[in-house]
């Protein structure tokens, strides 16, 4: 599974190379449902905004149960540097601080740490954006965990898109489905 996600993320620039020029948007807020198991639904709120043309700040709140023995509540806030490698493809390197409230088998634990990330986003069709991410996350354990995400969004009306992503880490695979609301200068590009 990890190899497939990595391969698809690596192929993203090839799939969007021939598409029309359309800027990737970084000014948004989103709300999503999170499902690690079919009978347990969690929630995610996230957003980001461009501080400058290349600097993005972002935040995430995620509350879900990755498995029957663990309840996880994650809050992360960070900053990223983006590069526009083609008119319709952006990559971003980021660092964030993450705090976790974990309840494992009835025992509550608070952990915090740094999350380093690399994201790639690009338009695969005039209304379809593909995205992938690779993260090194030490915010929920004493060791660093590798997290991969692969997703897509369908752009509905001008400032709204619908989509989802698959998140794979060392202990589980999670499906996240939601809606993005875009604002600011990037929504009109």
Segments of 38-159 assigned E as strands: 40-50, 55-67, 70-86, 89-104, 107-125, 128-137, 145-155
pLDDT for 69? 73
pLDDT digits (tens, 9 = 90+) for 13-32: 544 444 455 788 899 999 99
pLDDT at 165 exceeding the cut of 80? yes
pLDDT for 56? 96
Question: Looking at domain 26-118+150-188, does it have CATH number 2.40.160?
Answer: yes
Which element (helix H / strand E) includes 179?
strand 173-182
Q: Is 130 in contact with 120 (CB distance < 8 Å)?
A: no
pLDDT for 147? 92
User: Stretch 90-110: mean pLDDT, rounded?
Assistant: 89
- Picking from 155, 151, 149, the residue whose alpha carbon sits closest to that of residue 177 is 151
pLDDT digits (tens, 9 = 90+) for 145-156: 899 999 999 998
pLDDT for 4? 45
pLDDT for 148? 96
> Which of 25-29, 88-92, 138-142, 181-185 is the least confident region?
138-142
- Cα(122)–Cα(87) distance, integer angstroms: 9
pLDDT at 35 exceeding the cut of 80? yes
More confident site: 5 or 104: 104
Domain-by-domain residue ranges, the chain? 26-118+150-188
Backbone φ and ψ of 138, nearest 5°: -115, 25
pLDDT for 68? 72
């Amino acid at each position: 599974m990890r190899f497939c996600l990595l391969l698809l993320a690596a192929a993203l620039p090839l799939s969007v190379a021939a598409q029309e020029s359309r800027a990737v948007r970084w000014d948004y807020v989103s709300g999503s449902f999170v499902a690690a198991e079919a009978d347990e639904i969690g929630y995610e709120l996230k957003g980001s905004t461009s501080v400058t043309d290349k600097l993005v700040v972002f935040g995430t709140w995620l509350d879900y149960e990755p498995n029957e023995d663990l309840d996880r509540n994650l809050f992360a806030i960070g900053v990223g540097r983006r590069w526009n490698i083609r008119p319709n493809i952006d990559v971003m390197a980021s660092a964030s601080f993450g705090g976790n409230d974990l309840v494992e088998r009835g025992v509550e634990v608070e952990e915090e740490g740094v999350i380093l990330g690399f994201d790639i986003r690009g338009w695969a069709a005039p209304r379809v954006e593909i995205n992938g991410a690779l993260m090194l996350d030490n915010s929920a354990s004493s060791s660093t965990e590798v997290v991969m995400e692969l997703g897509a969004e369908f752009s509905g009306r001008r400032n709204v898109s619908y989509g989802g992503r698959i998140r794979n880490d060392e202990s589980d695979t999670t499906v996240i489905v939601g809606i993005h609301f875009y604002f600011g200068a990037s929504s009109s590009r």
